[in-house]
Amino acid sequence: MEPVDIVGKAKEDASLPKATMTKIIKEMLPPDVRVARDCQDLLIECCVEFINLISSESNEVCSREDKRTIAPEHVLKALEVLGFGEYIEEVYAAYEQHKLETMDSVRGGKLSNVAEMTEEEALAEQQRMFAEARARMNGIASSASVHQQPNPEQSQV
């Protein structure tokens, strides 16, 4: 039987992209230091376990507050509870930076009105986008492509 993690999935199901993790590892070390492949694998496993630990504790914090969605403050509280309080300031700063970058990319893209949407409108938009993605994956023309502007060459004169 396969080893199972805390949420019942096989360990092989939970992983991080090796190329990304290898790049992060290399960026953190001096250029003349090499890392053995088995050491890289061990570091990646440690990261996965850390994420599992933080996720599990965040879920506990969320449950204690009778919430159904884990929020950033639950993650920050989990860090404190688990003894990683010295990282909270840096993690919060990274979170704030991520929010700023995300807002900039959303404003620059076609989803610029997301901030003005109600939760119901955002959910409807998300469902529409999922449906379009499923349709593209299945090779079916999406409803958006059916309602496109007619080709000027095909229009009647």
Per-residue model confidence (pLDDT) at position 118: 81
Here the tokens at position 121 are 């409108």
Domains in the chain (CATH in brackets) are 1-85 (1.10.20.10)
Per-residue model confidence (pLDDT) at position 148: 43
43-50 CB contacts, 8 Å cutoff, 24+ apart: 44/15, 44/16, 44/18, 47/16, 47/21, 48/14, 48/15, 48/16
Per-residue model confidence (pLDDT) at position 157: 40
d(CA 62, CA 44) in angstroms, rounded, equals 27
pLDDT (tens digit, 0 to 9) for every residue of the chain, 157 residues total? Answer: 444 444 445 455 678 899 999 999 999 999 999 999 999 999 999 999 999 999 999 999 999 999 999 999 999 999 999 999 999 999 999 999 998 888 877 666 555 444 567 878 887 888 887 777 776 666 654 344 444 444 444 444 4
